[in-house]
Structure 1
Amino acid sequence: MNSNAIARRLDAIQAKGAMRSSDIANVLEVRPETVSRWNQGKAFPHPTTERQLLELEFIVDQLSDFYEPQEARLWIFSRQRLLNGETPAELIQKGRVDEVLAAVHQLRDGVHI
């Protein structure tokens, strides 16, 4: 088990969201090798990237309340009607996390538009 805080966050994203390091790297717009270094404690994300990582973890955790890990992963990378046809991954990259969270809350509350 990984001991640093970032590695624990990455483990949670991988467990609850079935996301590989390459998936996380894609969402955060970094190289997979960078995610691997974070996981090993050899490097740490830039503060902006760290904030995105924490947001991703929170979103994945919220999705885990009603989706299996593989379903959560697919949701993050698929176009969503609740997000006007955009993917949650793209919105996270653009810093539009609140829109993604609003869609997650609508899904959780059973409000489908």
Structure 2
Amino acid sequence: MNAVARKLESLRSKGAMRNIEVANLLGTRPETVSRWNQGRAYPHPNTEKTLLELEYIVDQLSELYEPDEARQWIFSPQKLLSGASPAALIREGRIDEVLRLVSQLRDSVYL
């Protein structure tokens, strides 16, 4: 299993995310994600960076939520994001805002 495939597996196991959802978040097609998973293709550098950040977010959320709950959190409007969903911000290239919110959530749990 290649490194990208391991990241995709982590998204499936910790975030209950399917290829179509990953593709949607990364602005690509499910078939492309499938090729990454099989090692027949690799993401472009910017897409790979976003994939790694998404996997990090899901990993952090897995300490707070069950996989289905983490998935719902990503696709649901969030009050602390002015009603935007983390998924929408990720698609817009505003992943730093999502990373900050996840950090705040984690920090408040450990206070």
Normalising by structure 1, report the TM-score. Answer: 0.92
Corresponding residue of 2:22: 24
3-state SS of 1:67 partner: coil
| Whole-angstrom CA distance in 2 between matches of 1:37 and 1:18 | 19
Corresponding residue of 2:47: 49
| Whole-angstrom CA distance in 1 between matches of 2:26 and 2:75 | 13
| Whole-angstrom CA distance in 1 between matches of 2:29 and 2:99 | 25
Gaps of 5+ in 1: none
Q: Give the paired residue count.
A: 109
Query: Does structure 1 residue 64 correspond to structure 2 residue 62?
Result: yes
Corresponding residue of 1:102: 100
Name the amino acid aligned to 1:4. N
Gaps of 5+ in 2: none
Query: Does structure 1 residue 92 correspond to structure 2 residue 85?
Result: no
Calculate the aligned-residue CA RMSD, in Å.
1.1
| Whole-angstrom CA distance in 1 between matches of 2:3 and 2:57 | 18
| Whole-angstrom CA distance in 1 between matches of 2:103 and 2:52 | 18
Q: Which runs of 4+ in 1 moved over 6 A?
A: none
| Whole-angstrom CA distance in 2 between matches of 1:106 and 1:5 | 28
- Write the deviation string for residues 27-56 of structure 1: whole angstroms up to 9, x where unpaired: 001110000000000000011110110010
Corresponding residue of 1:13: 11
Corresponding residue of 1:76: 74
3-state SS of 2:77 partner: coil
Name the amino acid aligned to 2:82. N
| Whole-angstrom CA distance in 2 between matches of 1:90 and 1:47 | 21
Name the amino acid aligned to 2:12. Q
| Whole-angstrom CA distance in 2 between matches of 1:5 and 1:48 | 16
Name the amino acid aligned to 1:98. D
- Write the deviation string for residues 65-106 of structure 1: whole angstroms up to 9, x where unpaired: 110000000010111111111111111122212211121122
Corresponding residue of 2:2: 4
Identity among equivalent pairs (%) = 65
